[in-house]
Amino acid sequence: MKTVLITGAGIGIGRSTALAFGAAGYHVIVTDILEAEGSKVAIEIVAGGGSADFHSLDVRSTERCNEVVALVEKQYGAIDCLVNNAGIAHKIPLSELTDAKWDHTFDIDLKGMMRLARAVAPAMKAKKSGSMICMSSIMGVAYGWDDHIHYSAAKSGVVGLVRGLAVELGAHGIRVNGIAPGYIRTAQALSVEHSVGPEALEAAAAYIPLKRIGEPDDIADVVVFLASQGARYLTGQVITVDGGLLVGRY
C-alpha cells in the first residue's frame, strides 16, 4: 500500500485531499496543528474502509517535521507522496506588517514546505521514486493581493521551490509539482477578517468562466492525479485550478 503524508489535513483542501487519497487506496498520514480536526479526518477515512493515522504537526518545527517523517518511515518505509498543504493567510496592511508577521507567514507557507521536502527526500532517493505536491495560489502565480503581500510573496516562493526541487530531485525518480487554486470554498476564503468573506466569494462566480466557486474536492482530485502514474512524466509544474478565472479576466 502506498503512503501519503499531508500537512494541514484537518480542514479545507487538506481534509478533502486526505479523503481522496484514502478512497484511492493509500495509507494516509493526516497531519495538522489542529489535533481534534486532524484526528477526526483519520477516523473518517478508516470508517470508510480506508487506512489512516494522525500525527500532530506544526510545520514551523524542524525537529517535529523530522520526527514525524522518521516515525512514518520506520513503520511504512519511504513515503510515496508528500502533500505540502499547510498554510495561513492573515490580512495585514503594509503599514502594520512587522518583520515578525512577515516571518510568521513565510515560516509556515514556504519554509514549512522545505522542511518536509528535506525530511522525506533521502528515503525517496534511496527508493528511486516519490512525488511531492506543494500548494501555491493564484495570488502567487498571477495576482497581487492587497493587505496580503506577505502571503502573495510566500506563495510565489512556492513556485520557485517546486522548480528547484524538481530539477534537483528528478534524477532520483522524484517528481515535484504544485497547484495554484483559485477561489475555493474553504474556511480561509470565507473569513471576513482575513480574506474575501462569503458575499464577495459568491460574487466572484460571475466572472469565473465555469460560473461557480471551486470546492475543496476540485483541488483534491488534481492532487491525487499528480501523485499517480498518469502524471509520471510531469514535474516542475504549478497547475492553476481556478475554473478558468485567469484566462477569463481580460
32-85 confidence digits (pLDDT tens) = 999 999 999 999 999 999 999 999 999 999 999 999 999 999 999 999 999 999
Nearest to 236 by CA among 116, 86, 136, 152: 136
CB 158 within 8 Å of CB 140:
yes
Which residues are catalytically annotated?
151
CATH number at residue 58: 3.40.50.720
Tell me, yes or no, whether 87 lies in a domain. Answer: yes
109-146 confidence digits (pLDDT tens) = 999 999 999 999 999 999 999 999 999 999 999 999 88
pLDDT band at 186 (very low <50, low <70, confident <90, very high): confident
Tell me, yes or no, whether 84 lies in a domain. Answer: yes
Q: How far apart are CA 98 and CA 238, in angstroms?
A: 30
> pTM of the predicted model, to two decimals?
0.95
Tell me, yes or no, whether 209 lies in a domain. Answer: no
Report the share of the chain in percent with pLDDT over 70: 94
Tell me, yes or no, whether 150 lies in a domain. Answer: yes
Tell me, yes or no, whether 205 lies in a domain. Answer: no
Please give the pLDDT value at position 156.
98
Tell me, yes or no, whether 81 lies in a domain. Answer: yes
Tell me, yes or no, whether 192 lies in a domain. Answer: no
Tell me, yes or no, whether 64 lies in a domain. Answer: yes
Q: How far apart are CA 163 and CA 156, in angstroms?
A: 11
Contacts 24+ apart (CB under 8 A), 165-170: 165/117, 165/132, 166/235, 166/236, 167/236, 169/121, 169/124, 169/125, 169/130, 169/132, 170/235, 170/236
Helix (H, G, I), strand (E, B), or coil: what is residue 84?
strand
Residue type, 209: P
Cell of 237: 509544474
**Based on the structure, what is the number of domains in the chain?**
1
Question: What range does the domain containing 223 cover?
Answer: 3-183+216-248
Residue type, 125: K
> Which parts of 142-227 fold into alpha helices (H)?
149-169, 187-190, 197-204, 216-227
Instruction: Kindly report the backbone phi and psi dihedral angles of residue 81, in degrees, each rounded to the nearest multiple of 5, phi listed first.
Output: -145, 135
CB 155 within 8 Å of CB 139:
yes
Q: How far apart are CA 102 and CA 131, in angstroms?
A: 29
Angle among Cα 66, 178, 171 to the nearest 5 degrees reads 70
